[in-house]
A and B are shown apart, each in its own frame.
Chain A
Amino acid sequence: MKAKTVDKIATGVFIGIAAFIVLLLASLLGYILVRGVSHISWQFLTSPPQTIREGGGIGPQLFNSVFLLVLTMIITIPIGIGAGIYMSEYAKPNKMTGFIRLVVEVLSSFPSIIVGLFGLLVFVNFFDFGFSLFSGALALTVFNLPLMVRITEQGLKGVPLSQKEASLALGISKWTTIRSVMLPVALPVILTGTILAAGRIFGEAAALMFTAGMSSPRLDFTNWNPLDAVSPLNPFRPAETLAVHIWKVNSEGIAPDTPEIAAGASAVLVILVLVFNLGARMLGRYVHRKFTATK
């Protein structure tokens, strides 16, 4: 066969593969959205679930998911950025840092069900935090933290050396250089990465079943005292998240409208994760524009 023909066939094959992937993704998304969107209503998004009767909602689960995300981020962002700065700017390149980097890689790709079991043994039982948002947040930290470290490290490594040198040559300390010159340049990358990581946390189920629990106590959305047992803000209460709820409803739900609830909740979850991803891109681009030239 002539080289030209081979080239044409290869091009065709690659276009075909790409089209297949796009089609698969589009049909998957379309299927979830078409089945679920019709079930989404204000009432569905705000009311508590029903065990036996029809018309249950996902209000507490939605709130739990968002609250758990915020809790996890409060724990991981400062530690992750701190460790990332250390790895990128302070750690000497030797066997030890190579080992730390390897551990970080392995941790972030850990199967989430294992992280969940680990959380059950350590946070829930050993430290006796029980099935709680706090245990769930710690379990999510196990694989979100390494991600944050890597994102920060890569963000800082991407800052041109000339920027760092310019600041140091003015007689400015290393920390001020990192804070005032390097972090602002790295911010779009760190921000985008953080939001993408948040999207992953939002959709996580396996790690939470045994840590944050699979039940949600009656919540009183007028009580905002974090120390109160029925308060939504209490971090030491069990909390079923949206992703866990989908799994539970599907596997052991007995309400007559179970399939609709699962479909509706899935659509909400997918839409939120999409919003996270698109938001991350837009925000990253905006911040990048803001910090480099054209304002």
Chain B
Amino acid sequence: MAEIALSAKNLSVHYGAHGAVRNVSLDFAAKSVTALIGPSGCGKSTFLRSLNRMNDLIPNCKVTGEIWMKDRDINAPGTDVVAIRQKIGMVFQRPNPFHKSIYENIAYGPRYHGVKNKKKLDEIVEESLTRAALWDETKDRLHKSALALSGGQQQRLCIARSIAVKPDMILMDEPASALDPVSTAKIEELISELKREFCIVIVTHNMYQAARVSEKTAFFLTGQVVEYDSTDKMFTDPERAETSDYISGRFG
């Protein structure tokens, strides 16, 4: 059995009285990609945003249950939320680079976390951009605004930005849904590279994407996990009728 990077136990999310996620328990293996699929409004994004406590920002949103990371329940009261977010990076649906230079977009995180040495920061910037397959395109314009990059480049910059703070895992919330097919292919390639080191959890609407990039897939329906298994099994021989209906495009 592979090493478990993060494990959610009986996780429920409520917006006021409305239950968006109900009693979800999932284990995420280290150095692998897990895809969360399901129709719109099934709670997969909400679940993802609970894992790094991003839902804390939303008023009226209550997350109950446990999230275990290395023998610690990071959903317990009194957890240092800021510290755990460094360990669990996030890439959003729409590319959201800071209104800063490309260099500053990357250096901002590490500098906050204590890297003050200019040379060391330069190294981190180069390494992160290289790993996000963006170095060649940006090395001559590091100090130009990141907002002048194309959408696909911006999204890779956001990925570079999150690996620059050395997380253990990266949550991706439909990272390619706002991009064109070529940029999407690049992001998928990048995900396959990054899984050698990180535990990646990706929410996607694109079934083919889930099939291409992930080892395991969880199918969400109305706030619950219907089925969670290896991606191969899910796409060829699912246990449940709902899963096979969704994957074969009969609804959703």
Contacts and interface: CB of A to CB of B under 8 A. Distances in A.
A168 B165 contact: no
A169 B97 CA distance: 12
Interface string B62-91: 000000000000000000001111110110
A21 interface: no
B99 A166 contact: no
13 contacts: A162-B96, A163-B98, A165-B54, A168-B54, A169-B85, A169-B89, A170-B109, A171-B112, A171-B113, A180-B108, A181-B98, A293-B147, A293-B148
Contacts of A11: none
B52 A169 contact: yes
Contacts of B112: 170-173, 176
Nearest to A176: B112
Contact of A185 (B84, B99, B148, B158): B99
Interface string B31-47: 00000000000000000
Interface string B164-201: 01000000000000000000000000000000000000
Contact of B99 (A172, A173, A184): A184
B165 A93 contact: no
A292 interface: yes
Contacts of B59: 92-93
Nearest 8 pairs of A and B residues by beta carbon: A171-B86, A162-B96, A169-B90, A171-B85, A170-B109, A293-B147, A166-B96, A293-B145
Given A166-B97, A166-B161, A292-B147, 19 more contacts: A163-B99, A164-B57, A165-B90, A168-B54, A168-B85, A169-B92, A170-B86, A170-B162, A171-B82, A171-B83, A171-B85, A171-B87, A172-B112, A173-B112, A176-B112, A291-B99, A292-B145, A293-B147, A294-B148
Interface residues of B, number: 31
Contacts of B57: 164-165, 168
A295 interface: yes
Contacts of B100: 184
A21 B141 CA distance: 49
Contacts of B86: 170-171
A256 interface: no
Interface of A: 92-93, 160, 162-174, 176, 180-181, 184-185, 291-295
A165 B108 contact: no
Name which of B82, B87, B99, B108 has the most chain A CB atoms within 10 A of its CB: B99
A93 B92 CA distance: 26
Given A163-B99, A293-B148, A294-B145, A172 B82 contact: yes
A185 B85 CA distance: 23
Nearest to B143: A295
Nearest to A181: B98
Contacts of A163: 96, 98-99
A75 B57 CA distance: 32
B144 interface: yes
Contacts of B92: 162, 165-166, 169
Nearest to B165: A170
A130 B96 CA distance: 54
B148 A160 contact: no
Nearest to A180: B108
Contacts of A168: 54, 57, 82, 85
Contact of A170 (B89, B94, B144, B145): B89
A295 B98 CA distance: 15
Interface in B96-136: 96-100, 108-109, 112-113
A171 B74 CA distance: 14
Contacts of B161: 166, 170
